Structure 1
């Protein structure tokens, strides 16, 4: 059986450097599932309605989250917006805000206030470089009238923007979020040590064929080709510190994933992996071994520790002060069909399928 050697292995707590925890009733439902996925540190996305564009709003949001789950370290971010000034960046650094997230306008959930022209934010990036505040990039180019940009090439079309920003601000720490293609990985490798990338759990499983016909596998950026998926698997076990874990776990009410109450709307973009974050990675690596994409010898305790925890914590300069540990086991755990709160349900990725278990030591 693949990865039997890791059955019962003890690892540091996972650090998830890209999560969506929403607000209000949804926040109350999904926030308690963080530790179920083996994580005790999460980097929280700011695309609420309205978006988090002030330091006080970020701190208030963090307070709401910590009241729900005090055993998780919530790292907070701001939403790149014209309301943000250089003074905001200085204030954010002093307040312990971790970074600023850039969403190209209209490419994903709650991104209508996103970036159209990156050049107008150059003064902000310059101050972020001075203050050592991270820039997190949703790396897709938005479609425009007359262009041939689609969900399948939007990430590739964005890569020149990444390279331009890194060249102009070489000391700015940049994370290219949720990479889905071989070309994105190569672009990150072309950059210096200040540029890194997150890889999600679900993109280690999915290809575009999985997305077609299954709204619960639909996210932005969409999964790409089998060759792209295989490249992500290899990057995960490469031991390259440029690659670390960020689930992009994005819960939506199941009704929104199915096209709304009348079934006539577009499916909401987002895959919910939070309760099984670590477990899904292990299952994906098992499948990668079975398919011959990676070898069992590629998956070691050291490489899991690096990808799931150490590399991201180092890049984010965020040590785990708790020294908490998890134990991973092969078994008969099954991904739950849904989580419910009030009138809505949320469906996890790989519902009904067997998975690994995670226990806190």
Structure 2
């Protein structure tokens, strides 16, 4: 590793959203463009992926769209999912099951409310060496005093209980945002790990309040929470690693306009901002830029490759590396599907995606 170049063994993103249809056509190739060789793909499509056949068909489609990347499939934890289907999925190469609490994020309306009803599924996962991926929030509930700022900390008791009952089940707490989450994962056993997104290494609550482009779930929290995320990455702890949670949304869904919503009544009731931040096409240079900013550049390989691959038992191919060089580059302001142009018409806005760091400067780029 020189002062102006970095060589990373086969980077891997263990949490990415690649959608469906034209959106998938646009974003699937961006994974490789961002320097990532392996992508662990989320199942919250419409309808969600709940069977081995669905998962493998989806992965096959992604491989057709982006043959340079290795994609790993997951299932959506859902009442239709059975221990028998878990065994079929594991035998066919599906690597994990993703749990979404009902209604907390994009396409989570089929999410769960009771974890104990899934204990037979967790037992089958434990026997078949599958990974349980937990979106670590509980739904907001005013009567219980739960909101987006404490939804993650209120979830941690569920993580601890699942781990206690299934100590050999590999569990990943996804996209942690708080010091409490970092401390919880740290004290649990070797079968519990945690992904940390690059945007949560950069943002705090002030950066998304009133700024839809930086709004995601879970939301970025307080300065001390961000400090805890940076500290654990700077430490190089082996059970914390990259899961970008890169989640593309059309520009029109991030910034809905009054004209697109129609009546005043529709504006009042439907003017929501989609939760998600898009990082795939700039991911590895973004990670290098951010880690360098808080003194963790020497941990880049552990964060984006070694730790996650070890936990998921996905070793890098011998000799396969990606090289970064120190060069200032400006992040594009928008990505547009080839069938459209970056104009202002409504159809174009449906396939425009504004990335994280849009218009800002990264201090590293991929060497071609």
Q: TM-score, normalised by structure 2?
A: 0.92
Map of 1:284-323 to 2, 5 A cutoff? Answer: 284-288=290-294, 296=295, 298-300=296-298, 303-321=299-317, 323=319
CA distance in 2, matches of 1:197, 1:259: 33
Are 1:249 and 2:246 an aligned pair? yes
CA distance in 2, matches of 1:99, 1:64: 18
Contact 2:325–2:367 (Cα < 8 Å) also in 1: no
Are 1:65 and 2:62 an aligned pair? yes
Contact 1:53–1:83 (Cα < 8 Å) also in 2: yes
Contact 1:38–1:360 (Cα < 8 Å) also in 2: no
After TM superposition, give the deviation of residue 56 of structure 1 in Å: 0.5
1:280 is aligned to 286
For structure 1, list consecutive stretches of 5 or more residues without a partner in the other structure. 289-295
2:202 is aligned to 205
Partner of 1:237, secondary structure, is: helix
CA distance in 2, matches of 1:6, 1:177: 32
Q: Aligned to 1:50, which of 44, 47, 64? A: 47
After TM superposition, give the deviation of residue 5 of structure 1 in Å: 5.4
Contact 1:6–1:328 (Cα < 8 Å) also in 2: no
2:344 is aligned to none
2:277 is aligned to 271
1:6–1:124 distance in 2 versus 1, CA, 3 Å: farther
| Structure 1 range deviating more: 329-338 or 113-122 | 329-338
1:328 is aligned to 324
- 1:287-314 deviation digits (Å, cap 9, x = unpaired): 32xxxxxxx4x531xx221111011001
Partner of 2:143, secondary structure, is: coil
After TM superposition, give the deviation of residue 324 of structure 1 in Å: 2.0
Contact 1:66–1:72 (Cα < 8 Å) also in 2: yes
CA distance in 2, matches of 1:275, 1:236: 22
Q: Give the alignment's Cα RMSD to 1 decimal.
A: 1.5
Are 1:136 and 2:143 an aligned pair? no
CA distance in 2, matches of 1:107, 1:176: 15
After TM superposition, give the deviation of residue 322 of structure 1 in Å: 5.9
After TM superposition, give the deviation of residue 357 of structure 1 in Å: 3.6
Map of 1:112-151 to 2, 5 A cutoff? Answer: 112-144=109-141, 146-151=143-148
2:354 is aligned to 347
> What count of residue pairs does the alignment treat as equivalent?
348
1:75 is aligned to 72
1:6–1:115 distance in 2 versus 1, CA, 3 Å: farther
Contact 2:246–2:276 (Cα < 8 Å) also in 1: yes
For structure 2, list consecutive stretches of 5 or more residues without a partner in the other structure. 341-347
